[in-house]
């Protein structure tokens, strides 16, 4: 079996973007790949996290994965800080990646904002840690949303430079798996910005913790345009909000965007939105309820993370040992 790795930050609520862009796809992949899914708490602290809140969000993300159908018996589920090899390999990658490469990362520019001098140095080297997450298991495939594509290209560059510098064929060239009809879920208020847990407007996103009424209300209020619904995917060009809602519909129902266009094309948005609200509630409602139930069972989640991190260490320890040998760290 080939090995996949992916991660989610525990830095606030899980969103529909995390679900459709990543977690829902993992559920389909876990049977065919050896799967490692990580709650990346080391990444989360690149911006300030309240410690109590971080613990809570870590359990919540793990619960969200499990409630969505990621099976802890079939996959490794753990939180990053319980496996020190991530941070250790990241240091080595800090010494492999070039400043020029990091300077091109668009996510750093967005997250650091105007006041770059005040961003943490962790935020800057974040992509090196992300490369280490993948390479410490020599994972070959990484299922993510489209926003992570640039980071994965950097991970390949790092692996390649490491292999070249040390004259080895050690790290594999990782392939992104960007799957489904909602590769980039956009804000419900602005079709040109990404749906994100850090958007100040709660109406811009659907949280995995939202109750059924809230989900339905947010969809009814979602921004659209005044044209009738498109009859073909081509007709969605330049209509970011409409395209986003139709992609969400397609992804949640495992149908194609073309199929949804055929069904609703030519109509106004009212019926479509009402159906989308029902669909969202029927898919997300049970997940949210299961997530809440699991969050009340802290000991179960903590046990899953503990066992997951033990399994993860079994894979990563020998790989880190090999890296130490390659780099020339003396093992006495
Ligand atoms: P994060 O926590 O921002 O998001 C977790 C996953 O959700 C996807 N995603 C989206 N997909 C579609 N539309 C959206 N609006 C949307 N928002 C989020 C992300 O693409 C991601 O797959 N750096 C990563 C976490 C990470 C990681 C890794 C991923 C750390 N190490 C190693 C893969 C491999 C991040 O910040 O994801």
Residue 44 CB contacts under 8 Å (≥ 6 apart), including other chains: 9, 10, 11, 54, 57
CA 327, CA 119: separation in Å to the nearest integer?
30
Classify the complex by whether its ipTM is higher than 0.95, answering yes or no: yes
Ligand 1 atom 17, closest CA: 17
Cα 76 to Cα 121: distance, rounded to the nearest angstrom: 30
168 occurs within a structural domain: yes
Is residue 175 located within the same domain as residue 321? Answer: yes
- State the residue range of the domain holding 60: 3-183+298-327
**With bands split at pLDDT 50, 70 and 90, how would you rate the model's confidence at 298?**
confident
Is residue 308 within 6 Å of ligand 1 at its C-beta? no
Contacts of 156 (CB under 8 A, 6+ apart): 173, 174
- Residue 194 lies inside a defined structural domain of this protein: no
Report if residue 332 sits inside a domain: no
Check whether residue 56 and residue 9 sit in a common domain: yes
pTM above 0.80, yes or no: yes
CA of 46 to the centre of ligand 1 (A): 15
Residues 39 and 120 grouped into a single domain = yes
Residue 94 placed within a domain: yes
Shared domain for 87 and 177, answered yes or no, is: yes
Say if residue 204 carries a ligand binding annotation.
no
Our count of domains for the chain comes to: 2
Residues 162, 256 within the same domain = no
Residue 221 designated active-site: no
Kindly give the distance from the C-alpha atom of residue 184 to the centroid of ligand 1, in angstroms, as a whole number: 10
Residues with Cβ within 8 Å of 85's Cβ and at least 6 positions away in sequence, in order, are 136, 313, 316, 317, 319, 320
Q: Report CA-CA distances (Å) from 210 to 39, 107, 245, 287.
A: 21, 27, 18, 11
Bridge partners, 35 (sequence order): 4
User: Looking at residue 93, what DSSP letter applies?
Assistant: H
Smallest CA separation from ligand 1 atom 4, residue: 8
What average pLDDT does the segment 134-152 reach? Answer: 98
Considering the candidates 1, 31, 111, 314, report the single residue annotated as catalytic. 111
Same domain assignment for residues 40 and 144: yes
Bridge partners of 36? 5, 76
Active site residue 194: yes
The model's pLDDT over 274-286, given as tens digits with 9 standing for 90+, comes to 999 999 999 999 9
Determine whether the shortest distance from the Cβ of 204 to ligand 1 is under 6 A. no
Domain membership of residue 302 (yes or no) is: yes
End-to-end Cα separation, the chain, in angstroms:
35
Q: Are residues 112 and 29 in the same domain?
A: yes
- Indicate if 150 and 275 belong to the same structural domain: no
- What is the domain-level CATH number for residue 30? 3.40.50.620
Do residue 54 and residue 143 come from a single domain?
yes
189 occurs within a structural domain: no
Are 33 and 116 in a shared domain?
yes
Is 198's pLDDT higher than 90?
Answer: no
Tell me, using a 6 A CB cutoff, whether residue 181 lines ligand 1: no
What CA–CA distance (Å, rounded) separates 296 from 16? 22
Query: Angle formed by the axes of helices 85-94 and 121-135, to 10°?
Result: 110
């Amino acid at each position: 079996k080939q090995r996949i790795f992916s991660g989610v930050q525990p830095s606030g609520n899980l969103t529909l973007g995390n679900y459709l862009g990543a977690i829902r796809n993992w559920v389909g992949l876990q049977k065919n790949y050896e799967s490692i899914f990580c709650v990346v708490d080391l990444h989360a602290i690149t911006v300030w996290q309240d410690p109590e809140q971080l613990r809570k969000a870590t359990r919540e993300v793990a619960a969200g994965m499990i409630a969505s159908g990621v099976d802890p018996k079939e996959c490794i589920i753990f939180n990053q800080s319980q496996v020190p090899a991530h941070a250790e390999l990241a240091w080595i990658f800090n010494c492999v990646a070039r400043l020029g490469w990091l300077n091109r990362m668009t996510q750093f520019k967005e997250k650091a904002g105007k006041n770059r001098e005040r961003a943490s140095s962790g935020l800057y080297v974040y992509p090196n840690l992300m490369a280490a997450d993948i390479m410490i298991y020599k994972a070959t495939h990484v299922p993510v949303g489209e926003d992570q594509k640039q980071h994965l290209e950097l991970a390949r560059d790092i692996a390649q430079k490491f292999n070249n510098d040390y004259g080895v064929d050690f790290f594999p060239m990782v392939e992104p798996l960007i799957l489904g009809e909602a590769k980039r879920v956009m804000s419900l208020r602005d079709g040109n910005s990404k749906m994100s847990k850090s958007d100040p407007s709660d109406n811009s996103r659907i949280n995995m913790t939202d109750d059924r009424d809230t989900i339905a209300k947010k969809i009814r209020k979602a921004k659209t345009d005044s044209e009738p619904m498109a009859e073909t995917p081509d007709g969605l060009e330049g209509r970011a909000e409409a395209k986003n809602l139709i992609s969400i519909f397609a992804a949640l129902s495992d149908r194609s965007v073309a199929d949804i266009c055929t069904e609703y094309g030519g109509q106004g948005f009212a019926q479509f939105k009402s159906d989308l609200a029902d669909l969202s509630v029927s898919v997300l409602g049970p997940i949210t309820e299961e997530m809440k139930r699991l969050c009340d069972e802290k000991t179960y989640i903590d046990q899953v993370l503990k066992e997951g991190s033990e399994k993860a260490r079994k894979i990563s320890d020998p790989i880190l040992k090999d890296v130490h040998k390659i780099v020339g760290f003396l093992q006495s």
